[in-house]
Structures are given as C-alpha cells and as structure tokens.
C-alpha cells in the first residue's frame, strides 16, 4: 500500500500541502438512497414542514459549500457549481449530488457531503411519520481531474 498523504512521518494526522499542484478543473458526483415505506412516501406532498425534496436539495448544496468546516483535514474550496437532485422512487428517495471547481485538489468530499446532508434532511423532515427510515448506499459515482485521473464506478 502506498503512503497515506494525510499522515506525517511520525504517523500524526496532517492537512496535505497542495501548494505545488496545478489548478485543474475537477468534478465529482455522489449518491445516497433514503429507504422510506410507501405509506410515508405517499404523504410527502402534504408534509407540514414543507417539501422535503426541495429542502434536502438546498441543504445538500449548502453542505457542499461547508465541507471543510465539517471534515477536519479537507481543504476549503471555492466551488464553481454544486447541485443536488432528490427523486422519489417506489422504495424511497434517490439522491445525486455533484460539485465542480478549478483547484489544486478534488471535490469528492464536497459531493459526498452534499449527498449525505441531503439524505439526513429527508430523514429529518419525515422522521415524525416513521423512525425506521434508513439512509443507504452512500458512495462516489465518479470524479474527474487531478493527478490520480478519472474514476467512474462500474
């Protein structure tokens, strides 16, 4: 296994110095699924707190912009774009999040944070109807740019 970049020579955690890296366009897309019972899904349009899907979308975008405040060793990035979609399916809500920047480091954590916070927001807005809602399948779908090259989940 190659040396992990978030640890110094003594094994202590550290923020990676990216100052020698070139700025390149970088993108990332992430996924999350919120498993919800059909009877709860049917009540989404009548939610007294508002539209859970739209609130989740905005929460995810806001979270992408705050990722470095939540993940200790993440670099603060100026995002040029962040987006979240939340789509109702027969067994729950599927969330896709994306982030884009031109920077010295990637935006995988921003996309993943957006997907997670959007999923948590769906839970928060529906938990009064069912506490057994599950957040599942959080993962990176793809990333582009940077020294390590592109990644596309098969």
* 124 is annotated as an active-site residue: yes
H-type alpha helices, the chain:
38-41, 52-65, 67-70, 108-126
The span from the CA of 30 to the CA of 54, in Å, is 18
Which candidate in 124, 130, 137, 150 is catalytic? 124
Euclidean distance between CA atoms 93 and 131, whole angstroms: 15
C-alpha span between 32 and 34 (Å, rounded): 7
State how far the alpha carbon of 150 is from the alpha carbons of 48, 59, 69, 143, in Å: 43, 27, 26, 6
Q: Helices 108-126 and 52-65 meet at what angle, rounded to 10? A: 150
Question: Helix and strand tally (H, E) in the chain?
Answer: 4, 5
Q: Just list the catalytic residues.
A: 124
């Amino acid at each position: 296994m190659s040396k992990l970049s978030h640890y110094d020579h003594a094994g202590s955690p550290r923020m990676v110095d990216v100052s020698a890296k070139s700025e390149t366009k970088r993108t990332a897309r992430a996924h999350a699924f919120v498993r919800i019972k059909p009877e709860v899904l049917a009540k989404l349009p009548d939610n007294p707190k508002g539209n859970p899907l739209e609130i989740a979308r905005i929460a995810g975008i806001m979270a992408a912009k705050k990722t470095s405040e939540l993940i200790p060793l993440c670099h603060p990035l100026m995002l040029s774009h962040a987006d979240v979609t939340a789509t109702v399916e027969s067994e729950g809500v599927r969330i896709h999040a994306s982030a884009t920047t031109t920077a010295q480091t990637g935006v995988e954590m921003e996309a993943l944070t957006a997907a997670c916070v959007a999923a948590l927001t769906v839970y928060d807005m529906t938990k009064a109807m069912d506490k057994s809602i599950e957040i599942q399948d959080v993962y990176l779908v793809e990333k582009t740019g940077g020294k390590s090259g592109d990644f596309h989940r098969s």
